Amino acid sequence: MTALPTRQAAPLLAELTQQLHVFFHALDMRRYERMLELFTDDCRWLRQGQWLEGKAAVRTALEARPTNFDTRHVLTNAHVSACPAGLVEVEAYMTAYRHPAAAQPGEVPSCAGPLRFNLTTTVFRRDTDCGWRIAEQRMVAAFAFAG
């Protein structure tokens, strides 16, 4: 895989990091249709140790998420890690926080600490109609938090 010089990577990083922020915000808010729009039709997603192949598998996994807990994802240290032909790979750290769903609107939830810390590697492919979309994403635990 080929690394890009900073002057070429920087504009791509801004655009693709924005896509990742939209992705995680849609996941957190359970806006699955919006989230699925960000994937290519033939996407692959390594989520919680399992490969999901295609949008139908992703949708099934998302709809199985428990509704009595909310999760928030924080993305940091993003960088363009490679540019194989026609693709751009972005690596970042993702910290997830999980807490019981708020009982009342406006209630501020409480959680003991982070749930997990992952290395997230996302491969984007340009779609002529939709811009950059996620062709593959791997979320792999970088370390676990002591409970």
pLDDT digits (tens, 9 = 90+) for 82-120: 887 889 999 999 999 999 887 777 788 888 889 899 999
Cα–Cα distance between 75 and 59 in angstroms, integer? 22
Cα–Cα distance between 79 and 89 in angstroms, integer? 9
pLDDT over 70 at 1, yes or no: no
pLDDT over 90 at 128, yes or no: no
Instruction: Residue 124: name the closest of 44, 56, 58 by CA.
Output: 44
Chain-centroid distance of CA 103 in Å reads 27
Note the pLDDT of residue 101.
Answer: 84
Note the pLDDT of residue 8.
Answer: 83
Cα–Cα distance between 40 and 36 in angstroms, integer? 8
Note the pLDDT of residue 137.
Answer: 98
At residue 31, φ and ψ (nearest 5 deg) are -95, 75
Residues in the chain: 147
Residue with more model confidence, 1 or 102: 102
- CATH class, 6-101+112-143 region: alpha beta
Note the pLDDT of residue 89.
Answer: 95
Note the pLDDT of residue 147.
Answer: 64
Cα–Cα distance between 63 and 89 in angstroms, integer? 27
Lowest mean pLDDT among 10-14, 58-62, 65-69, 129-133: 129-133
Note the pLDDT of residue 24.
Answer: 98
DSSP code, position 83: -
pLDDT tens figures, 17-54:
999 999 999 999 999 999 999 999 999 999 999 999 99
Cα–Cα distance between 130 and 82 in angstroms, integer? 21
Note the pLDDT of residue 92.
Answer: 97
Note the pLDDT of residue 107.
Answer: 80
Instruction: Residue 137: name the closest of 38, 60, 25, 4 by CA.
Output: 38
Cα–Cα distance between 125 and 104 in angstroms, integer? 41
